[in-house]
Amino acid sequence: MTTRIPTPATREGERRVVGNVLRGSIGNLVEWYDWYAYSAFTIYFAKAFFPGGDATAQFLNTAAVFAVGFLMRPLGGWMLGRFADRFGRRSALVLSVSMMAFGSLLIAATPSYAAIGVAAPILLVLARLLQGLSVGGEYSTSATYLSEVATPGKRGFYSSFQYVTLVGGQLLALGLQLILQSLLTEAQMGDWGWRIAFVVGAVAAVVVMALRRSMDESASFERVAAEAGTGKQAGERGTLRTLVKYPREIALVVGLTLGGTVAFYTYATYTQKFLENSAGIPRRTVTWILFIALLVFALLQPVAGRLSDRIGRRKLLMFFGIAGTVLTVPIMTTMAHTKQPVLAFLLLLGALVIVTGYTSINAIVKAELFPTRIRALGVGLPYALTVAIFGGTAELIAQALKKAGHESLFFWYVAGCILVSLIVYGTMRETSRSSALERDED
């Protein structure tokens, strides 16, 4: 048996891959920080934009605005997915982070309801609409870019960094929240402290704009763009007319995403309100529980991504589908009634380990379904539609059922969504063995 010794060219190629993945991932990190800062700091600015009523009513209003932002994600997936397929992944990534920077700055600068009346929640909605456009395009383009620039045989590993940085963005938001909680009083946090988070996000996004301009363009895109030229094939790149030629792949993206997005947003965002309102655990303790659990969750993503390169993507999806369907209701029921922070942490961590079977490979599985000329749009649009309908409304449904006195129905709703995806996982092919990323079919 012989050992292959990497040549200088091989080592240089791997270094370029790592460099591009890092630059793309850092941008993704900042984008998702800006997106999740809204959810993390809702508990402080809800009264500023929606005064009066009880805490659940205020959370319900801000959850509705959160859901409205999700409604723009399909439009962002279409606009920036089309842009990325026609003009390049790098340019689309620069554009998406520019929109996010403006949205965060708008939230930071918007006066309270007491100062400008109904204009305050209107401006909040406008900012979230802009951020929704940005995130819708960010997911499709970053998933496509990381999958395309990754080394063959390691695509699961490298593409998993999309969720490392996605979760990392939320960790940064929670980390800043912990710092501000230790430096400011509750009154100061509610009056003006929450604005700091959005100022930080806007400034970081501007820095990332410059960083992303230095990334290499995807070789897959450059090859297809050169082959298409200005002829008929150029006009087919990134169009809905081309996308509808792949109905099976579109349906697979929807089915793959449904259960995963509901589970992820339930545990990664709604848990912060759930443990405080339902379990009665103190706010600062809840922040620490979520922060540590998400940190472990982020570290698991590349491990699971690399495992998928060895055993295939479908086995991880089946693990998520089966465990999520069976264990969601017991986990959430126990979590709702526990007063013990350690138990709450272990339950949340167990749930996130299950969700890792989806999150670690969701980008690469979808990218492997579509050819280069339509990949960003194919990955982005059906995914964004599914996330908008199901992921974006998860917290809204949970809050509404709690207010109506039927909170436990939400637990069954989450399990049911995962079951639908499990059916899809059980009938789909192993994408790593028939990957469009490995075929020169464009």
Digit-coded pLDDT (tens) for 330-361? 999 999 888 899 999 999 999 999 999 999 99
Q: What percent of the chain has pLDDT over 90?
A: 29
For residues 137 and 76, is the Cβ–Cβ distance under 8 A? yes
Given this model, what pLDDT does residue 325 score? Answer: 97
Structurally, at CATH architecture level, domain 19-438 sits in Up-down Bundle (1.20)
Given this model, what pLDDT does residue 57 score? Answer: 60
Listed range (76-80, 83-87, 377-381, 435-439) with the worst mean pLDDT: 435-439
The two three-digit tokens of residue 228, written as one number: 């298409």
Distances in Å between the Cα of 304 and the Cα atoms of 1, 15, 32, 164, 213 are 29, 22, 21, 11, 30
| Residue 99 pLDDT exceeds 80 | yes
pLDDT band at 226 (very low <50, low <70, confident <90, very high): confident
Mean pLDDT along residues 260-271: 91
Instruction: Give the alpha-carbon dihedral of 318, 319, 325, 327, to 10 degrees.
Output: 170
The domains of the chain are located at 19-438
For residues 137 and 380, is the Cβ–Cβ distance under 8 A? yes
Q: Which residue has the tokens 């700055």?
A: 105
Given this model, what pLDDT does residue 122 score? Answer: 83
Average pLDDT, the chain: 85
Given this model, what pLDDT does residue 133 score? Answer: 87
Given this model, what pLDDT does residue 52 score? Answer: 66
* Position with higher pLDDT, 257 vs 124: 257
Given this model, what pLDDT does residue 234 score? Answer: 55
| Residue 227 pLDDT exceeds 80 | no
